[in-house]
Structure 1
Amino acid sequence: MALSEEKIVNNSDILDEFQVLFFAMSRLTSFPWSVVENELQSNKSSEFLSELLQQTCLHPLCRKFPPSVRYRRLFLSELIRRQEAAACDPLDELYDALAEVLGAEEASECYKSYLLPSGDVISLLENMALISEGTTGLVTWEAALHLAEWALDHQQVFTGRSVLELGSGVGLTGITICHSCGPHRFVFSDCHSTVLQKLRDNIHLNGLSGGSSPVVTVDELDWMTATEEKLREIRPDVVIAADVVYDPDVAESLVKLLSKILSCCSVQVQPEIFICSTVRNPETYSNFKLQLKNAGIRQEVMTGPVSQVFPYNRLAAIELIKLFR
């Protein structure tokens, strides 16, 4: 490959990386800024910055599902700082883009978009605050992203099957599975009214409502009061949950629900159950696993790497376990 061709390939990879990080609203410190600096220093031209803008702030996806105003303002300010430090040609469209967001009003919600290997894009309306309206379910957490990546690597677990997701939150994992893994039916569930409404909005946003395939439903499911009759009605082949073990009381109610799910199924048709957790409090997580053991629920840690599709903190302690009797 000629040097110029190699440079084009490398620039294309960098632009793709910026796009993935930008639309997921990743921390600005995680962007490969040194590559931008090198490119600007070597060329003294704003052509690369123009291409980068077209893949981020000026991309049609940004017009339709924009990241937060503050995030775009910080991103554009960082681009301008790098451009000025390199003393390269000014880029009018860069300053125009900044002027646009400087005059925009910040909202309590914003869009995050995640690019799938298939070329599909999942766009989610999320809250800016990690905790709002008494719930953590209005944002996407690391374990949901990890479980979605695992699902993409193990699509056969979900293909043609009925899937129940517990604590679906804003819907990232379930929407990924519906778009890429071919389930026959997918039941999103949560118990918080605001989360359920946001979940319905995001499902509609991603084209999974109105008689689509798979059959998608959103159920209000309170873990403390869910009846065996209700669980038999859902009759899942697969049960999944992500980032639901964060509080001792929540963990206790989850174990009781899982016991009920396993009890109301015959041995021959017991569902496969996968729980993915970011271990923020080792004591809480160890207690959850002890409760599983005391309830007669066995567990297997799912080891092995997953394909890196989404940007998130990969240094976080994330564990995926499979449960069965």
Structure 2
Amino acid sequence: MTSSTTKDHLFELTRQYASLSAQNTLIYGNISHTTIQDFLIKNIISSDHFSQYPPSTQYQKSFWKRVIVHLESSSNEDEDAEFELSPDIYERYLSLITSRPSGVKPSLSVGEGPPEKSFITYFWKPPVNSPNRGVNEPYLKATLLESRAMIEMGTTGLNTWTASFVLAQYFVDHPDLVVGRDVLEFGSGIGFTAIVLSSLQVLWHRPHSRLGKLWFTDVEETVLTTCQSNIALPCNLSSLHTGVKVQTLDWFASLDEERKPSVAKLLKEDIAPHVIIGADIVYDPLLIRPLLATLQMALEPDPRNSPICALFALTLRTQRTKSEFFRTAKDMNLIVDDISKEAPRSVAFLSGTTPHRDFQDVNLFRFSMMT
């Protein structure tokens, strides 16, 4: 195995650990135990980033248990003739199995409590021609505090969903769509897309040019608080963006005659976006009409503002949902263009071992108003 291939395999281990990949996907390649061990000690155990923003205790225990099993297995590499497992790895594992996961009461055994919150880190490559790309930063990080439970406290916003990766990658590939522009996101969740968009605007910002304002919205205060905290994490380039705002936005208010004027003011006067985006925000058919009513309000022509475009990455899981979505859009004089052929079919945020089959179910739509 060449040194370049070895380096790539080892970096994949870091990506898998950082993104909490399933343990059965860990791939070590034909790399000596000595090389793997030295790499893991240097790049994970001794990492300042993973010390400050660690995966959950539950995940770390499982990860290091798998590593120990692998390193204690036989090796055919000459370099491993006298290999011994490092005390650093044993000590890390022992410290984890004797610790109590955060949020688990003393009366509960390990594994009986709810899934922990966990920091999760996605590595991504910025555009090669971005003016502020650091020469020593081949990868940037998007780190979030994320709930590993699919639904927590009655909201679905505390996880990063598949379509978010597709939409974020689309803007990494087409930064001109968002650089220097005011962007409004519907259903921002915990802020993955927000981190990437904010970072892109910082990367592409030139002296004396307009940075752009970014508005990230959701209906749940808990989700918005998490989103704002994640954007501001010092390890994320997004923390340097000075034009970020989070805002409560209830789509159902667009159907309420009493609340509609305040929503219109927010969308048309306070935010006045150039671009509107959203990812995986039609997970319930009941949301279709309020979502599209809000979008219709935002897209209504205004001579004071630049033309608006809207881009959504959506997973319309049933034909019934899809039909209702397009029928409602037509009723509201919205033109929907399916531009899924332009959508990325692989993303840089996930490790090479992460299954990408779900991405083919993500559709990319562009919206405009009928004239």
Fold in common (TM above 0.5): yes
Q: Residue 31 of structure 2 corresponds to which residue in structure 1?
A: 39
Residues 138-196 of structure 1: per-residue CA shift (max 9 Å, x gap)? 11111111111111001000011000011100000011011024451100111101111
Answer yes or no: is 1:120 the counterpart of 2:140: yes
Answer yes or no: is 1:280 the counterpart of 2:272: no
Q: Secondary structure at the match of 1:309?
A: coil
Identity %: 26
* Structure 1 contact 167–189 (Cα < 8 Å) conserved: yes
Aligned to 2:356, which of 314, 317, 320? 314
Aligned to 2:231, which of 187, 203, 213? 203
Answer yes or no: is 1:161 the counterpart of 2:161: no
- Deviation at residue 48 of structure 1 after TM alignment: 2.3
Q: Residue 259 of structure 2 corresponds to which residue in structure 1?
A: none
- Deviation at residue 217 of structure 1 after TM alignment: 0.6
Aligned to 1:265, which of 302, 311, 326? 302
Taking only aligned residues, the RMSD between alpha carbons, in angstroms, comes to 2.1
261-270 or 224-233: bigger deviation: 261-270
Q: TM-score, normalised by structure 2?
A: 0.78
Determine the C-alpha separation between the residues in 2 that align with 1:324 and 1:103: 56
255-264 or 8-17: bigger deviation: 255-264
Answer yes or no: is 1:9 the counterpart of 2:51: no
- Structure 2, unmatched stretches of 5+, are 103-115, 127-138, 205-210, 255-262
* Structure 1 contact 186–214 (Cα < 8 Å) conserved: no
* Structure 2 contact 198–237 (Cα < 8 Å) conserved: no
Q: Secondary structure at the match of 2:357?
A: coil
Q: Which runs of 4+ in 1 moved over 4 A?
A: none
* Structure 1 contact 21–31 (Cα < 8 Å) conserved: yes
Determine the C-alpha separation between the residues in 2 that align with 1:298 and 1:218: 28
- Deviation at residue 55 of structure 1 after TM alignment: 2.6
Answer yes or no: is 1:24 the counterpart of 2:19: yes
Compared CA separation, residues 47 and 16, structure 1 to 2 (3 A)? closer
Q: Secondary structure at the match of 1:56?
A: helix
- Deviation at residue 124 of structure 1 after TM alignment: 0.5
Q: Secondary structure at the match of 1:111?
A: strand
Compared CA separation, residues 208 and 12, structure 1 to 2 (3 A)? closer
Q: Residue 228 of structure 1 corresponds to which residue in structure 2?
A: 264
90-99 or 63-72: bigger deviation: 90-99
Answer yes or no: is 1:138 the counterpart of 2:161: no
- Deviation at residue 238 of structure 1 after TM alignment: 0.3
- Deviation at residue 264 of structure 1 after TM alignment: 5.2
Q: Residue 68 of structure 1 corresponds to which residue in structure 2?
A: 56
Q: Residue 152 of structure 1 corresponds to which residue in structure 2?
A: 172
Q: TM-score, normalised by structure 1?
A: 0.89
Q: Residue 3 of structure 1 corresponds to which residue in structure 2?
A: none
Answer yes or no: is 1:190 the counterpart of 2:218: yes
Give the counterpart letter for 2:249 in structure 1: L
Residues 71-95 of structure 1: per-residue CA shift (max 9 Å, x gap)? 1111111111112222552312221
Q: Residue 276 of structure 2 corresponds to which residue in structure 1?
A: 239
Aligned to 1:99, which of 85, 91, 94? 94
Q: Secondary structure at the match of 1:240?
A: strand
* Structure 2 contact 10–36 (Cα < 8 Å) conserved: no
- Deviation at residue 126 of structure 1 after TM alignment: 0.9
- Deviation at residue 313 of structure 1 after TM alignment: 4.0
- Deviation at residue 56 of structure 1 after TM alignment: 3.0
- Deviation at residue 266 of structure 1 after TM alignment: 4.7
Q: Secondary structure at the match of 1:239?
A: strand
